[in-house]
Amino acid sequence: MSVAHPPRATGDFDTTNSSAVRRYNRTYGLIPPTVDSQEVQMKRCLMQLSRKEKSIEKYLYLSGLRNSNVHLFYRLVTQHVKAIAPLIYTPTVGEACIQWSSNYVQPEGLYISYEDRGHIGSVLHNWPEKNVEITVVTDGSRILGLGDLGINGMGIPVGKLALYTACAGIRPDATLPLMLDLGTGNQHFINDPLYMGTKKPRVSEEESLEFMDELMQALHQKWPGIVVQFEDFKNPFPALEKYGPRYTCFNDDIQGTGAVVLGGIISAVKQSGRPAKDQRAVFLGAGSAGVGVAKQIVAYFMREGLTEEEAKRCFWLVDSKGLVTNDRGDKLPDHKVYFSRDDNNAEQYKTLEEVADLVKPTILMGLSTIGGAFTPKLLTKMGQWNEKPIIFPLSNPSANSECTFEDAIKCTDGRALFASGSPFGPIEYQGQTLTPGQGNNMYVFPGIGLGAILSKATIVTQSMIYASALALSKSLTKSEEAQDWLYPEIARIRDVSVKVAMEVIKAAEEAGVAREPHIKMMGDDELEKWVRSKMYEPATETARVEDEVRDLLMDLPKSNGSSGTNGVNGQKDSHL
Ligand SMILES: NC(=O)c1ccc[n+]([C@@H]2O[C@H](COP(=O)([O-])OP(=O)(O)OC[C@H]3O[C@@H](n4cnc5c(N)ncnc54)[C@H](O)[C@@H]3O)[C@@H](O)[C@H]2O)c1
Ligand SMILES: O=C(O)C[C@H](O)C(=O)O
Ligand SMILES: [Mg+2]
């Protein structure tokens, strides 16, 4: 039997490889003789990581590790997710994106340019993996709160998909980080000789959508049923509206964020002691995330007994021009119209402070990209107006957060129900250690994607997104609830993703969009077992490859008389 491709899944230079695998991969002698366990390897990595001072250095080290030894990387991330997620994802990924072109050393995803239109399918064919199940795609036009970073935004698909693998067990080779190079509005990059994207202004909205049409068709032609996650588009509404009913896709910034914030708000509303009907929410930021979150909470308030109109009236959205009202004088984009107020008596409120003084909100939500916008003065007022003010500064990365955890706690005498988009450390307050929640869509998108893949959903319905939020809100342990946490411990995120995926699968089945027949009759226990059995587990990969090599070696013809040392295609090895 001839073997075309030796298994390389553990990385050719993985020191956990046994002598047999090293011989098979022809790396025998190139790796120091000891066969390490993965535990020893992880210890070495953690030591090397701890020697790096800056987060960006740690990010680059970890990228190198992912490219040289993928299973070790994922075992490390899975076991140390709380410490490592901030290094491979938000907030460090923000800095990594800013420096993407200058730090570039190796391909980590697929780049498709506007110039490639008409041939997108053939660019997809260059992707080396055959069985892609999910892609995260961006055009880099609004990367976190950092603005238009063009192709440097590739760090976002790479980081999100790394979490898909670490937190939801999607096989690394089933993921495709995808960057659409449609020009950039970032003049600094256009002038930078090291910038690796097209140095032209962005194409028009219409041209972009036409390009997306071809992309969506080509993706589904090459990988039918592929799940597409849209990420960090400046104006993501037209694509979601157009492709949402046709393809298995969702927008993480609108829907994933809506779900994750709802998951936390359900607990916060309960803890605040105020029913939904008495909540008043002021949002700073009325973009994709702001409107996505507000709409998701409206759906929840309606389930709590409010009419749609009553629920909608609980929200005051503030953008860069002030309170969003019907008579403000500018033409409101469609997504803002739903929440536009008509009860302002022709008065326009220009600043967040004015709106807050008018409304005396119970909930203050930040999705504005404006770091420090929740001033100590405003936070203090939130503490005066409410026994338990709900304060969610959700903009990323850390410098863009509308306030810090420390400010929120100090200004409200420790009473704030707090969650931020980027992680903050715990603080000591009046002899107590207080731990902040992290309201980041990382709690839901891995489970939404896993659920969509496993159920073979034809589309991602609103009910699947809502189910992810409910699953998240129910995933807190007794001890987490006793400490008034709004989100579960990050270290448990893989278990949380399983719960989210299960509810997404059930919702897909209920909505009639699931094509996977197995899930129909399954009870919860069986479903959980089935979901877990489908998840990639880095700790067992090395053993799997060992077994595979052993089997292949046993199958090889023993024409040369040497036992189990044949090279590829059964050729005789001269020495080993
Ligand atoms: N925590 C999470 O999981 C999560 C998820 C998605 C987005 N975000 C963050 O939310 C932020 C916004 O994302 P988006 O997709 O909604 O962006 P967007 O560009 O669609 O919206 C930004 C909004 O902020 C408003 N704004 C800008 N400057 C302002 C100012 N000075 N005063 C008042 N409003 C101002 C804009 O008018 C717009 O309505 C980003 O920082 C992003 O990182 C966080
Ligand atoms: O990327 C994140 O950390 C969350 C979110 O998708 C964002 O755009 O900020
Ligand atoms: Mg995003």
Domains in the chain, number:
3
Same domain for 310 and 372?
A: yes
Query: For residue 138, how far is its CA from the centre of ligand 3 (angstroms)?
Result: 9
Same domain for 265 and 406?
A: yes
Which residues have a Cβ under 8 Å from the Cβ of 23 and sit 6 or more positions away?
Answer: 565, 567, 573, 576
Dihedral sign from CA coordinates of 484, 490, 492, 498: positive
Same domain for 98 and 168?
A: yes
Q: Tell me the CA distances in angstroms from 135 to 158, 175, 229, 374, one per residue in order.
A: 10, 6, 6, 35
Query: For residue 37, how far is its CA from the centre of ligand 3 (angstroms)?
Result: 37
Q: What is the DSSP letter of 399?
A: G
Which residues have a Cβ under 8 Å from the Cβ of 469 and sit 6 or more positions away?
Answer: 258, 259, 260, 262, 263, 266, 296, 300, 444
**89: annotated active-site residue:** yes
For residues 486-513, b (16+ Cβ closer than 10 Å) or e, as one string?
Answer: bbbbbebbbbbbbbbbbbbbbbbbebeb
Domain's final residue, options 215, 247, 279: 247
Residue 486 lies in a domain: yes
List residues near ligand 2 (CB under 6 A): 90, 144, 232, 252-253, 396, 421, 440-441
Per-residue pLDDT reduced to its tens digit, 51-67: 999 999 999 999 999 99
93, 440, 444, 448: residue to mutate for ligand 2 pocket, most atoms within 8 A of CB: 440
Same domain for 410 and 329?
A: yes
Residue with tokens 């609830």: 481
Given 58, 160, 336, 381, the catalytic residue: 160
Same domain for 55 and 85?
A: yes
Query: For residue 370, how far is its CA from the centre of ligand 1 (angstroms)?
Result: 8
pLDDT, position 336: 97
Query: For residue 197, how far is its CA from the centre of ligand 3 (angstroms)?
Result: 20
Q: Is 313 annotated as a binding residue?
A: no
Domain's final residue, options 442, 476, 498: 442
Q: Is 152 annotated as a binding residue?
A: no
CATH code of residue 438: 3.40.50.720
Q: What is the DSSP letter of 80?
A: T
Residue 450 lies in a domain: yes
Which residues have a Cβ under 8 Å from the Cβ of 191 and sit 6 or more positions away?
Answer: none
Residue 348 lies in a domain: yes
Residue with tokens 């060992």: 546
Same domain for 225 and 374?
A: no
Dihedral sign from CA coordinates of 34, 40, 42, 45: negative
User: 3-state DSSP call for residue 33?
Assistant: coil
Containing structural domain, residue 466:
444-533
Residue 433 lies in a domain: yes
pLDDT, position 542: 75
Residue 371 lies in a domain: yes
Per-residue pLDDT reduced to its tens digit, 30-47: 989 999 998 999 999 999
**Pairing state of beta strands 437-438 and 417-420?**
parallel
Residue 24 lies in a domain: no
Given 24, 28, 74, 89, the catalytic residue: 89
Task: Please give the model's pTM, rounded to 2 decimal places.
Answer: 0.94
Query: 3-state DSSP: the chain helix, strand, coil percent, rounded to 5?
Result: 50, 10, 40
Domain's final residue, options 517, 533, 549: 533
CATH code of residue 193: 3.40.50.10380
CA separation for the pair 218, 180 (Å, rounded):
14
Residue 538 lies in a domain: no
Per-residue pLDDT reduced to its tens digit, 448-469: 999 999 999 999 999 999 999 9
Same domain for 193 and 85?
A: yes
**Is residue 75 a contact partner of residue 538, using CB atoms and an 8 Å limit?**
yes
**312: annotated active-site residue:** no
Residue 28 lies in a domain: no
Which residues have a Cβ under 8 Å from the Cβ of 395 and sit 6 or more positions away?
Answer: 144, 145, 285, 366, 367, 368, 369, 370, 371, 401, 402, 421
Same domain for 313 and 435?
A: yes
Same domain for 380 and 432?
A: yes
Same domain for 74 and 190?
A: yes
Same domain for 140 and 270?
A: no
Same domain for 166 and 88?
A: yes
Which residue ranges of the chain lie beneath pLDDT 50? 1-10, 559-576
**Pairing state of beta strands 432-434 and 427-429?**
antiparallel
User: 3-state DSSP call for residue 148?
Assistant: coil
pLDDT, position 13: 73
Q: What is the enclosing helix (H) or strand (E) of 136? A: strand 134-138
Of 178, 154, 233, 231, nearest to 441 by C-alpha is 231
Q: Is 343 annotated as a binding residue?
A: no
ipTM of the shown complex: 0.99
Q: Return the number of other C-beta atoms located less than 10 Å from residue 23's C-beta.
A: 21
